[in-house]
Chains A and B, each alone.
Chain A
Amino acid sequence: MKNNISALMDGELFEDETEALFNGLKRDSEAHRDWAAYHLIGDVLRQPEYIHRDISGRVRELMQREPTVLAPRIRGITQKVRNVALSAAASLMALGVVAWMSVQITPETNPQLAMQQTNTRPVSLQTQSKSNDYIMAHQEFSPSNDMNGGASYIRTVSYGSEEKPQ
């Protein structure tokens, strides 16, 4: 454990090891003393001009009179925010993929074909005007639109509730 305390002080311990070490420090008063001693050594090496006496015992005594601190977990909140952000990102990505796929499926217009289409348009316009009557007459037999096929058999009726004159 002492080895890990030393590494932790230097920021060289992994997060999962840190949690276990903090639990150990809580149980083991010797380990707590090592933590304090290692920090004292560091402070002496950096600032030998000023070393004051240990006040941690007095602070601990004062803290016993204080109510225990309980605060909402920051990590819980950030976790929720992270989850929402991840869901939003996943949705956006899915939309992007669908959009990309639809672009890929749509056949590219060949310039020559496009020219042909523009050339044939006047012809189709001419034939369209002639065939309008034919299409209107046979629309009910169109397989592509069942409602339209049945719509020709629907008659609009009205109902009046007027009394007959006697």
Chain B
Amino acid sequence: MADREVDQQLVERVQRGDKHAFDLLVAKYQRRLGRLISRFVRDPGEAEDVTQDAFIKAYRALPGFRGESAFYTWLYRIGINTAKNHLLANKRRPPTSTLFDAEESESFEDAGLLQEVSTPENELMSKQVVDVVQSSLQQLPEDLRSALTLREIEGLSYEEIASVMNCPVGTVRSRIFRAREAIAENLRPLLETSKGNRW
């Protein structure tokens, strides 16, 4: 089941009154949407507020979502409009929209354009999370690290990874899961201590 279909299933659950399904979509897309909005709204606190507003607007508009486009493409447009409206309401000029085509929403990779959200507290927390993830990745056995990297960074399918690593698809699935779980295990104390506050 492709990623777009997974999102569509979650959307349909929300449309049937399941708010929890929307929580899953928020957990999945909050950072991508936050990155997008921070390109318009430079202040980190404001960018977070606008990201929240965009999610709430998306939730309200979901009854009209018919799945003609991918969920994130639709959410992306809502995010841009919310950010622009926020800037106009504060009498600031939004950046030109030509930089932000809808197609870009499917492969948002240009980190060079990103505006760093830089409160000292946020920077520290971000650094800790990144450090834990990266050091955990380095501590993984080679086969787990390769499988996860090929999936998350290179974007290969299980079948392609199986071909590259010369092993069955089931083994790929198992390696990726074990890699994620090992990193998450190291990350949990950090996420737990900051529960309700940062993460």
Residues of chain A at the chain B interface (Cβ within 8 Å): 2-3, 6-8, 10-15, 18-19, 22, 25-26, 32-60, 62-63, 66, 68-71, 73-75
Contact = CB atoms under 8 A, between A and B. Distances in A.
Contact of B23 (A18, A43, A60, A69): A60
Contacts of A58: 52
Interface of B: 1-3, 5-6, 9-10, 12-24, 26-28, 30-32, 34-35, 38, 44, 47-48, 51-52, 55-56, 59-60, 62-64, 66-67, 109, 111, 114, 116-117, 122, 125-126, 129-130, 133-134, 137, 148-149, 151-153, 157-158, 173-174, 176-177, 180-181, 183-184, 187-188, 191, 196, 198-199
A41 B38 CA distance: 20
B184 A41 contact: yes
Contact of B66 (A38, A60, A66, A74): A74
18 contacts: A10-B157, A13-B1, A14-B1, A15-B9, A33-B191, A45-B153, A49-B114, A50-B35, A51-B129, A53-B122, A54-B198, A63-B56, A63-B59, A66-B56, A69-B59, A71-B62, A74-B67, A75-B12
Contact of A25 (B20, B31, B34, B129): B20
Q: Is the interface of A mostly helix, strand, loop or mixed?
A: helix
Given A37-B187, A53-B122, A59 B55 contact: yes
Q: Is the interface of B mostly helix, strand, loop or mixed?
A: helix
A62 B23 CA distance: 11
A3 B177 contact: yes
A50 B149 contact: no
Nearest to A54: B199
A69 B63 contact: yes
A20 to B, nearest CB: 12
A41 B186 CA distance: 11
B3 A11 contact: yes
Contacts of B19: 63, 68-69
A11 B176 contact: no
Given A70-B17, A74-B67, A57 B52 contact: no
Contacts of B14: 69
A1 B56 CA distance: 29
A37 B186 CA distance: 11
